[in-house]
A and B are shown apart, each in its own frame.
Chain A
Amino acid sequence: MANERISVIKVRETLMVTMPADPDDSTITALQEEVLQAMARYEASGLILDISAVETMDSFFARTVVETTRMVELMGGKTVIAGMRPSVAITATQLGFTFGNTKTALDVDYALDLLGDRHPRRPGHGR
């Protein structure tokens, strides 16, 4: 199914990953592998996870997204989750899910700003 594909593109230092509307579990699991390998391959410093098409995020999907951001962090990258629909945000919160310290943005545009702001290309400690 064409709409079940994860799309991955790189713009400058940032990897942009777009999730399909209703991915099955194996597509969600593939997200982790694909993203981590692409981060390394393209030497990207930031990741934008565009979930604006996503209509349903259950606990499995949400957990995989948060896990992926942690793994990217381990590799030295920063993640911003972009475009979460209001209905998805309400539902995930009611389900009991917290996205912890994961950064979020209204859309990809803001996410790029956020990565630019928060990712000075020099060594230093966070916070």
Chain B
Amino acid sequence: MVVESYGEVDILDESHIVTVRKTIREAASRIGFGVTDVTRIVTAGSELARNAFHYAGRGVMRWQEVENGQSIGIELVFEDHGPGIANLEQALEPGYSTSGGLGMGLPGTKRLMDEMDIRSRVGEGTTVTVRKWRRK
């Protein structure tokens, strides 16, 4: 059996947020993360999947196993072609929300993961990349 070290999930309707969570849980567990880190990674992925679905209507999540010297990890990329984020700094402030949410998704995700990178252009879309590492 060939074990895939990357994958992709389309986020087209609400139930795909669950698919994203299941996919990430399986991948992170197989990469060898402990249960608390798996929970952190899955929760972060759930926030980003919901943002893509909620603000852009649809999106895609790609994951891959990554390596860096003594560490291995997981990288998740969430891409959408929605409205984009006008002010990134503001979007990352805890409590800031344009939808009456808690404004917890982005700042929380940043705390749960080791690295987070957001690229967004108004009118073009948003790509959020997060990584979590563990020692080999």
Contact = CB atoms under 8 A, between A and B. Distances in A.
Interface of A: 22, 24-26, 55-60, 63, 85-88, 90-91, 94-97
B25 interface: yes
Contacts of A87: 35-36, 38-39
Most B-side CB within 10 Å, residue of A57, A58, A63: A58
Contacts of A57: 43
B22 A91 contact: no
Contact of A59 (B14, B40, B104): B104
Interface of B: 14-15, 17-18, 21-22, 25, 35-36, 38-40, 42-43, 46-47, 50, 94, 101-102, 104-105, 107-109, 111-112
Given A22-B18, A87-B39, A59 B112 contact: no
Contacts of A91: 36, 39-40, 43, 112
Given A25-B14, A86-B36, A95-B104, 9 more contacts: A58-B43, A59-B47, A59-B105, A63-B101, A87-B35, A91-B36, A91-B112, A96-B107, A97-B108
Q: Main secondary structure on chain B at its contact with chain A?
A: helix
Q: Which 7 A-B pairs have the closest CB atoms?
A: A95-B108, A87-B39, A58-B46, A87-B36, A59-B104, A24-B18, A91-B39
Contacts of A55: 25, 39, 42
B53 to A, nearest CB: 9
A80 B39 CA distance: 23
Contact of A95 (B15, B35, B112): B112
A97 B42 contact: no
Nearest to A29: B14
Among B17, B39, B107, the one with the most A-chain Cβ atoms within 10 Å of its Cβ is B39
Contacts of B39: 55-56, 85, 87-88, 90-91
A60 B25 contact: no
A70 to B, nearest CB: 14
